[in-house]
Every structure is written in C-alpha cells, then in structure tokens.
A = this chain, B = another copy of it.
C-alpha cells in the first residue's frame, strides 16, 4: 500500500485536532517522521480536492476545510492511491491463451477488488480515526 495514503490520513488527523490554527508542514512532518516537502506534496492533493485549505507566508500553513465526518478513507484512497491494487503485469505471451487473456481478466478482478475495498474504507471517516487515536491514548 502506497504510503501517501497513510501520510494523508496522518496529516488530516493532526489537522483535525488543531481546528483553530494553521499547522505548518514542518510540524506535521515531525509528527509523521518524514520530510516536510513530502507532506507538502501530499497535502497539495488534498487541497486540490477541497479537504483542506492552505495559506502561504508567515503564520501560514494548512487547516481542515470540512467537517470531520465529511471525509472518509475511501475519499483519501482515491486521491492518493487509486489503482494501487492493480498489479503491474509484464506483457505476457500473446500466442498463449492464458498469456493473452490473463491480463484483462486480472484487471477486472482487481477493479472489483478495489470497489469492494472502497465499501470498507467508506466506513471510516476522519472523525472516527480521531476517536480511535484518542482511545489508544488512554491505555
């Protein structure tokens, strides 16, 4: 699984806990243990899709733009990782029935798998992820 996906979840969860102020990429990067530039790349995708807004310059940063239960993990998956389930087959032998047709058969199976995964991921909104993180905290 693409780690852009988990970085996006991580970032949004952090932003969810800082609803009143902007968070810098450096702050988020430190929490996630990655480089700030990587955070900015991932967050630029989320921004394009309207989940967050950003501001440049002093005092700038990122902030959540929607209600926490308006964003679910399937939304985030689609933005950051769509197609990640698809295996990248090398071209196989077209002379052979299996070689010639396997690729498209697998393609449709994995398409279905991704849709199915979507049904699961839709059940988790950022609100719920925040709850889960808070629960862990108490133990």
- A interface residue numbers (CB < 8 A to B): 1-3, 5-6, 9-10, 13-14, 17, 30-34, 73, 84-93, 96-102, 104-106, 108-110, 112-113, 116-117, 119-121, 124, 129, 132-134, 136-137
With a cutoff of 8 Å between Cβ atoms, the chain B residues found around residue A109 in the complex are: 73, 124, 129
Which of the residues B2, B88, B102, B137 comes within 8 Å of A10, measured between beta carbons? B102
Check if A113 sits within 8 Å of B121, measured CB to CB: yes
Check if B13 sits within 8 Å of A102, measured CB to CB: yes
11 A–B contact pairs at CB < 8 A?
A3-B87, A3-B90, A5-B87, A10-B102, A13-B102, A17-B97, A31-B99, A32-B99, A100-B137, A104-B136, A116-B120
Check if B117 sits within 8 Å of A9, measured CB to CB: no
With a cutoff of 8 Å between Cβ atoms, the chain B residues found around residue A136 in the complex are: 100-101, 104-105
Bound-complex Cα distance A91 to B112 (A):
33
Bound-complex Cα distance A33 to B92 (A):
4
Check if A120 sits within 8 Å of B112, measured CB to CB: yes
Check if B113 sits within 8 Å of A117, measured CB to CB: yes
